[in-house]
Amino acid sequence: MGSLVIGQGEGAALVAAALWAVSTVLFGRLGKTLRPLVLNLVKGMVAIAFILLTLLWRWGQAPDLPPLAVVWLLLSGAIGIGLGDTAYFSAVNSLGARRALLLESLAPPLAALLAWAWLQEALSALAWGGIFLTVLGVAWVISERVPAAPQVGTEPLVPVWRGVMWGLLAVVGQATGSVLSRAALADTVVDPLWSSLLRLTAGGAVLVALLTLRGQWREPLQVARSPQIWPVLVLTAFLGTYLAIWLQQVAFKYAPTGIAQSLLATSPLFVLPLAAMLGDLVTGRAVLGVLVALTGVWMLMGAG
């Protein structure tokens, strides 16, 4: 395997996963006040403002982006952020967060398969083994204390199956968005910050369309009338959207899709120490899941 060296893409993916873990805790506070779609749109708009300020400070003018790369990135944002996130929120409403996250653990191997089929991005046996162990460890942690399935005769099973459908659509959206980002970023001059801007803009456009179709287009405007939530909202957008998506794009530019997606999926592992600090019980099963996932991460680092 040789010496273990953390590449730029792999390191960015792990830091992004850690930032998503922190923002998840903040997201839980905001979710009690705002609808998921509204929150997703508003924090995306705040993140776009941060990106525009950063771009203005760094360059001052737009670069000459390859047209095909722009198309891939806009599709990536529309599918991954707009449709994929919407499907994920719908899955959470039907299945609960743990089971929805469990389905999301299917995204890394699907992304690796799509990248292999479309981008001819082959992975070594070590990388596939790392993906398997990482996904297994994350799934083991997430699946602990899953709420019991509805009992026949007490609740209809249709919402559960609908939730599974939404969860699988979210997995497809996430994996497809990842591969489209990789196609636009790998071996091109596209900067990850510009790709973040394009993806968030396309995703925001889809969210605006969905809110308009639901007759909820006024709700994002009402957030401006609630100044008490802005400090948490801005912090969440800065950490979990602006920085994390920027790092996610760095990961897709410098690491193979399957490896990057697997490392990005380790976010639930970073939640555990946060939960322990907040007074929640961290079980031996959770620790074992973390160790299995970390073994997979170590293998991915060696393969990357």
User: Does the pLDDT value for residue 63 go beyond 50?
Assistant: yes
Is residue 257 within 8 Å of 114, Cβ to Cβ? yes
What integer pLDDT is reported at residue 6 of this predicted model? 63
Question: Chain-wide mean pLDDT for the chain?
Answer: 83
Distances (CA, A) of 169 to 173, 196, 203, 222: 6, 22, 16, 30
Closest to 205 (Cα-Cα) out of 62, 40, 23: 40
Closest to 223 (Cα-Cα) out of 24, 87, 37: 37
Is residue 181 within 8 Å of 73, Cβ to Cβ? yes
Closest to 42 (Cα-Cα) out of 224, 214, 247, 212: 224
What integer pLDDT is reported at residue 62 of this predicted model? 65
* Region 275-294 average pLDDT: 78
Inter-residue long-range contacts of 58-62, CB under 8 Å, 24+ positions, other chains counted: 58/193, 62/194
Least-confidence region, from 25-29, 68-72, 199-203: 25-29
Tally of helices (H runs) and strands (E runs) in the chain: 15, 0
Q: Which residue has the higher pLDDT, 171 or 302?
A: 171
Region of 20 on the Ramachandran plot (φ > 0 left; ψ -120 to 50 alpha; else beta): alpha
What integer pLDDT is reported at residue 15 of this predicted model? 95
Using CA of residue 172, residue 71, residue 10, residue 118, what is the dihedral sign? positive
* Region 81-98 average pLDDT: 81
Can you give the pTM of this predicted structure? 0.84
Identify the residue whose tokens are 């990005």.
264
Q: How far apart are CA 167 and CA 78, in angstroms?
A: 17
Tens digit of pLDDT for each residue in 149-184?
A: 444 344 444 457 788 898 899 999 999 999 999 999
Q: Work out the number of other CB atoms within 10 angstroms of the CB of residue 88.
A: 24
What integer pLDDT is reported at residue 60 of this predicted model? 57
User: Does the pLDDT value for residue 53 go beyond 60?
Assistant: yes
Tens digit of pLDDT for each residue in 227-278?
A: 777 888 889 889 989 999 999 999 999 999 999 999 998 888 887 777 777 6
Inter-residue long-range contacts of 121-124, CB under 8 Å, 24+ positions, other chains counted: 121/182, 121/256, 121/257, 121/258, 123/256, 123/258, 123/259, 123/303, 124/303
What integer pLDDT is reported at residue 43 of this predicted model? 86
